[in-house]
Structure 1
Amino acid sequence: MSIWDMAAVLFAGVWAGAINTVVGSGTLVTFPVLLAVGVPPVTATVSNALGLVPGTLSGALGYRAELTGQQPRVLRLGAAALVGGLTGAILLLVLPSTAFETIVPVLVGIALVLVVLQPRIAALVQRRRARHATGTGRATAVDGGPVLVGALLLASVYGGYFTAAQGIIYLSLMGMLLDDTMQRLNAVKTVLSTIVNSVAALFFLLAADFDWTAVGLIALGSTAGGVLGARIGRRLPPPALRAVILVVGVAAIVQLLLR
């Protein structure tokens, strides 16, 4: 990489860490930049997964207070996230790279649709919670039942294969099937994302080739971005952040289709 390529990747890592803190989908920033500086798609994916681990871990640690009393839920859903994330990582390396290059534009497109729909999804979840605001339902709030576990398992397979917008998927599923505050659910989402990214990254360490310069720059940037994310999120309106994600996501689709 040239010095300008390295600066672009570092800046993308900062943005990804910040966006993951606010709305998720930071991969839609880092992935297109890695493609633009010449990193092959599969190498870009595995390098991005490892580089974003410090950012998601710092985010999870920042939610310690909201995680209080949620150990049974985290253990139950975390087990599904671990299995799903490992399965997705295996699929990434087992399937031919041509399959990845065919599938990923579709996945990026789905992720962009989720980013656009995120405000409506959040509104629907809030309305559902308002309609069912009673003193009951605590048993459901503990684990969400087998439907939630199965849905999160499939979402984690997606996350292990390609991480974009997995946080939005997690929040949507838990918001619809659990009776709890969005802050506490966001805390669980951050832990689940950390589990998926970490197990995928560990598997990739044993079986994949990395661009270690990209890994280091994204790790440094995403850690700083995770710390700054709350401040940036309060100063920039959510539509502006979503606009950034949409622009870079469309750029990723164009790059993949023109390769």
Structure 2
Amino acid sequence: MGLSEMLLLVAAGLAAGTVNAVAGGGSLITFPALIAVGLPPVPANVSNSIAVCPGYLASVVGSRADLPERRRLLRLLPGTVLGTAAGGALLLSTPERAFELVVPFLVLGATAVLAFQDQLRRLVGHPRDLGPRRRGLSVQLMVVLGAVYGGYFGAALGVMLIAGLALVLDETLARVSAIKNVLSAVVGLTTTAVFAAFGPVDWTAVALVAPATIGGGYGGAWLVRRLPPTVLKSVIVVFGTAIGLLLLYRALS
């Protein structure tokens, strides 16, 4: 790997860490970069999942002031781990092409959920109007579905988590984003364990991208806390739409 390729991966890691903290979807920066330096798609996907994990952890540190009480977070972790493990096993055992065709519609659908959150809440009910049991089950379902997706592909994981959680949680978008950072970090740690043991990881690429995502992740979390909720929501919706259309174009080309 030449110097220019190494610099490309470092720059991609910085950008991805920032984007993941703000809106999610940073993997769509690092994944093409790994492909560009010569990795085949599956090793690039596996290596990318491991490489962006430190950025998720940095985002958690940067957004810790917006996190809810620890007990609420701990309830979400078992479903996150199990869903991620299931998604990782699915990646390693099924053809990648089939999911490539589904992913764009999942991303666009999640973005639409966030964009039309208020209208959907009028249809399904506001979280504060739901009973504790129904609200808890709804949150767990959103977490598990997001984790399965994150374990399989991971790109736009943040967009999907924010869209789902914002629909079932009566919280500010900054707090939802902070919860998203914790769940993304758990997804990242779980995929690291699964893929390090069973996946075709390129550790040289990981060593270049991973440290760069730390600075980007911390800086992105700092930015989220200073953006007005309407601006933050608009950024996520625009970015999620762009990601979905890009994935659709790649899947059909």
Which of the five TM-score ranges fits, normalised by the shorter chain? 0.7 to 0.9
Find out whether 1:125 has 2:117 as its counterpart.
yes
Are residues 150 and 68 of structure 1, via their aligned partners in 2, closer, same or farther at CA, if it must alter by over 3 Å?
Answer: closer
Q: 1:129–1:179: 8 Å Cα contact kept in structure 2?
A: no
Shift of 1:85: 0.4
1:56-100 deviation digits (Å, cap 9, x = unpaired): 00111222222242x2321222211110001111122223xxx11
Aligned match of 1:219: 210
* Mapped partners of 1:4, 1:247: distance in 2: 29
Aligned match of 1:150: 141
Are residues 80 and 174 of structure 1, via their aligned partners in 2, closer, same or farther at CA, if it must alter by over 3 Å?
Answer: same
Are residues 162 and 246 of structure 1, via their aligned partners in 2, closer, same or farther at CA, if it must alter by over 3 Å?
Answer: closer
* Mapped partners of 2:85, 2:67: distance in 1: 24
Q: Describe the SS at the equivalent of 2:59.
A: helix
| TM-score, length of structure 1 as denominator length | 0.80
Q: Which runs of 5+ in 1 are unaligned?
A: none
Partner AA of 1:109 in structure 2: P
Partner AA of 1:93 in structure 2: L
Shift of 1:112: 5.6
Q: 2:142–2:165: 8 Å Cα contact kept in structure 1?
A: no
Q: Give RMSD over aligned pairs.
A: 3.5
Q: Describe the SS at the equivalent of 1:24.
A: coil
How many residues align? The count is 246
Are residues 133 and 113 of structure 1, via their aligned partners in 2, closer, same or farther at CA, if it must alter by over 3 Å?
Answer: closer
* Mapped partners of 1:130, 1:251: distance in 2: 30
Between the aligned residues of both structures, percent identity stands at 32
Q: Which runs of 5+ in 2 are unaligned?
A: 228-233
| TM-score, length of structure 2 as denominator length | 0.81
Q: 1:152–1:170: 8 Å Cα contact kept in structure 2?
A: yes
Q: 1:28–1:108: 8 Å Cα contact kept in structure 2?
A: no
Are residues 126 and 61 of structure 1, via their aligned partners in 2, closer, same or farther at CA, if it must alter by over 3 Å?
Answer: farther
Q: 2:63–2:222: 8 Å Cα contact kept in structure 1?
A: no
